[in-house]
Amino acid sequence: MEPATFVLFGATGDLAKRKIYPALFQLFVDQKLPSSFSLIGLGRRELSHETFKSNVEQSLITFSRSEVKDADVVKKFLRAFRYHVLDVDRKEDYTKLLRLVEEREEELNITPNRMFYLSVGPEFFETIATNIHESGLGSVDGWKRLVIEKPFGHDLESARQLNHTLNQAFDEPEIYRIDHYLGKPMVQQMGQLLHSALWEQADLRTRSIANIQISANETLGVEERAGYYDHTGAIRDMFQNHMLQLLMMLMIELPNRSSVDEVGKLKRKIMKSLMSLNKMDITQHVVRGQYGAGEIKGEQVVGYTDELGIAVDSQNDTFIAAKLRVDDPFWKDTPIYIRTGKRLKEKVTRIVIEYKSKGPLKDLLIVEIGPNEGIFFQRSQSDKERSDVEMSVRSQLSFMKESVKDAYETLIHDALVGDKTYFAHWDEVELSWEWVQPILDAYQDTLIPLHIYSAGSYGPHEADELLARDGFHWWFDF
């Protein structure tokens, strides 16, 4: 692997501590970091290199999935770490940073390959990219890469503006947009596993699909993210990115790992084939909700507007369900239902593919993405007695014998080796915003009622009606 300098903006923040350092450490333990590797952590607070290293060590003790017993291994890992004070707005800080980066490259005698990882709020992305460019940090003999986390914009227009600014400093192939759902092992292997699953169940290969259901249900509420979440909502926080990415990954049904261009091309094709919703469709095909007070696992919880930091009259959504159609001869009769929300009864990310059948028994192909992972078949009763669903698992594929990797390990490694397959590409991000924008407009124009649902339920009953109108129900809402 080529040598690299990892320049980490937001090195004192929560994401760095919980995810980035543990992932880098695991890659180090697994010998998957470049042999010449240097990390420069950035933040506003004054820290010595030593204090920074000991903070990183502390985060490894708390969050690493490798047992941090061997002090020598940790010490070796931390040798690569330096700290530099930087305020994103102060141009002189970038000039000093450039000197430090060059010094380290000389010390290690490595080609300038620089990865700029922005673990900071999205409001800083444009300023940082511009300052990297103007300071000369981005002028390298080797490669340069920019890693950013969603949200990529707040709506279609701001996403385009953000991308335009980033493109002044980085070309599209140099921009790595993390959507951590794409780093999940089950999501990455879904195409291949579905393919083998369908070979095992030969009769299903020729059968039509009645509907597809994609759910990402959370039990947590808004927690400490009130400021961010209250102007983001479920549609921007989950639906526009994670849920549409899951849909794309499901539908490409890749038999084998494809090249990045191929994955990108197929995903674009899928997004373009999604039928866009007009105002009338939106009122009928989109359900918007907000959690009220309720009980989750025996514990009373407050409603959204009683959460700390949320306005008492907030009209923000914590739940969305939508019915999507695909304009394609194969999928034209198959509705796709997507839902996601907070404070729901059960934490689960799951896809259910329901096959057409004449009798009361339904064949389901189920993809469990989290917290459990697997693909299996189930033959179930179609009646409403959901608790009577016959749990006759017909086939369970063996999956991921090795310990499950964290999404950040996979994605950081891929970014270091320059593999963009499982990152969100601009075209699909733009197409996702284009599809979602009419819904945002309808929200703005209050065309869609905000339904209050009890915490601990499966969301507003209008989300059940969305399927009931077509003769279906959400599977596994026990």
Contact residues for ligand NAP (CB under 6 A)? 10-16, 18, 43-45, 86-88, 119-122, 149
- Count of CB atoms situated within 10 Å of the CB of 27: 21
CB 151 → ligand NAP: shortest distance, Å? 7
CB 262 → ligand NAP: shortest distance, Å? 28
Tell me which residue of 112, 56, 121 sits closest to 88, measured CA to CA. Answer: 121
- CA atoms of 407 and 367, how far apart (whole Å): 18
Tokens of 90: 């102060």
Q: Which is nearer to ligand NAP, 43 or 456 (CB)?
A: 43
CB 53 → ligand NAP: shortest distance, Å? 16
CB 89 → ligand NAP: shortest distance, Å? 6
Say whether the peptide bond before residue 255 is cis (omega within 30 degrees of 0): no
Which pairs from 395-399 meet CB under 8 Å and 24+ separation?
395/197, 395/200, 395/201, 397/193, 397/196, 397/197, 397/200, 399/186, 399/189, 399/193, 399/373, 399/374, 399/375
Q: Which is nearer to ligand NAP, 100 or 442 (CB)?
A: 100
Q: Which is nearer to ligand NAP, 98 or 293 (CB)?
A: 98
Beta bridge partners of 229: none
CB 103 → ligand NAP: shortest distance, Å? 21
Tokens of 349: 């990310």
- CA atoms of 344 and 456, how far apart (whole Å): 5
CB 327 within 8 A of CB 334: no
Has 342 been labeled as part of a binding site?
A: yes
Q: Which is nearer to ligand NAP, 12 or 135 (CB)?
A: 12
SS3 of 114-156: the string is EEEEECCCHHHHHHHHHHHHHHCCCCCCCCEEEEEECCCCCCH
Has 17 been labeled as part of a binding site?
A: yes
Q: Which is nearer to ligand NAP, 85 or 440 (CB)?
A: 85
Q: Which of 84, 242, 413, 451 is catalytic?
A: 242
Beta bridge partners of 213: 337, 352
Tell me which residue of 473, 446, 308 sits closest to 386, measured CA to CA. Answer: 473
CB 328 within 8 A of CB 273: yes
- CA atoms of 212 and 204, how far apart (whole Å): 14
Q: Which residue is nearest to ligand NAP (CB)?
A: 13
Has 14 been labeled as part of a binding site?
A: yes
Q: Which is nearer to ligand NAP, 111 or 232 (CB)?
A: 232
Mark whether 84 is an active-site residue. Answer: no
- The radius of gyration computed from the CA coordinates of the chain, to the nearest angstrom, equals 23
Location of structure tokens 């080796």: 417
Has 356 been labeled as part of a binding site?
A: no
CB 23 → ligand NAP: shortest distance, Å? 12
- For residue 460, what are the contacts with CB-CB under 8 A and spacing of at least 6? 287, 289, 319, 451, 452, 453
Has 279 been labeled as part of a binding site?
A: no
Tokens of 291: 């959690």
Has 16 been labeled as part of a binding site?
A: yes
CB 175 → ligand NAP: shortest distance, Å? 16
Phi, psi at residue 169, to the nearest 5°?
-110, -30
CB 239 → ligand NAP: shortest distance, Å? 16
Q: Which is nearer to ligand NAP, 56 or 324 (CB)?
A: 56
Q: Which is nearer to ligand NAP, 127 or 381 (CB)?
A: 127
Which pairs from 458-465 meet CB under 8 Å and 24+ separation?
458/217, 458/344, 458/345, 459/287, 459/289, 459/319, 459/321, 459/339, 459/341, 459/344, 460/287, 460/289, 460/319, 462/287, 462/289, 462/321, 463/287, 463/289, 463/319, 463/321, 463/339
Has 11 been labeled as part of a binding site?
A: yes
The annotation places the binding site for substrate at: 180, 184, 218, 237, 342, 347
Which residues make up each annotated binding site for NADP(+)? 10-17, 44, 87-88, 150
Active site residues: 242
Residues annotated in a binding site:
10-17, 44, 87-88, 150, 180, 184, 218, 237, 342, 347
